[in-house]
Amino acid sequence: MSALEELIHAAVNAPVALRQDALRILRREAVNTPRIEPEPYLTLRETAKRLGISTATLWRWRVPGHELGGRHRFRISEVDAYLQSDAFKRRVAALRAIRKERRNGCDA
């Protein structure tokens, strides 16, 4: 099946509302769907400020981000998802164990 045949097959089998929206787009008419603004990329400082933590903590937690123009950038939705993840919980537990180990080593 060629790409054109696949496209026609998909269009024919699509729900009526979706077909109508596709036709409006092809005719360059406005479609009544809400426009979703892309989530902005935040700098290290902006992200830390929004979370109420220091930039050092953000690095220590190894929050994943994006490399844009040689700089680390973050999306809040991705940061929030990471902070809820098991990977982050394991990271925090490891950092606490290291801190406890250092304290106990200094006390001896």
Residues 49 and 27 in one domain: no
**pLDDT at 36 (0 to 100):** 72
Residues 81 and 48 in one domain: yes
Contacting residues for 66 by C-beta, under 8 A, at least 6 apart: 41, 72, 73, 74, 75
Whole-number Å distance between alpha carbons of 108 and 1? 74
Strand partners, 68: 71
**pLDDT at 2 (0 to 100):** 79
Segments forming the whole domain that contains residue 10: 1-36
Whole-number Å distance between alpha carbons of 20 and 85? 40
Residues 16 and 66 in one domain: no
C-alpha distances in angstroms, 71 versus 7, 38, 42, 96? 40, 19, 10, 28
Average pLDDT, stretch 24-29?
Answer: 75
Residues 22 and 66 in one domain: no
**pLDDT at 32 (0 to 100):** 65
Residues 27 and 80 in one domain: no
User: What total of structural domains would you count in the chain?
Assistant: 2
Residues 23 and 67 in one domain: no
At 53-108, the pLDDT tens digits run 999 999 888 899 999 888 999 999 999 999 999 999 999 999 999 989 988 876 55
Residues 95 and 79 in one domain: yes
Average pLDDT, stretch 14-19?
Answer: 78
**pLDDT at 80 (0 to 100):** 93
Residues 48 and 23 in one domain: no
Residues 25 and 76 in one domain: no
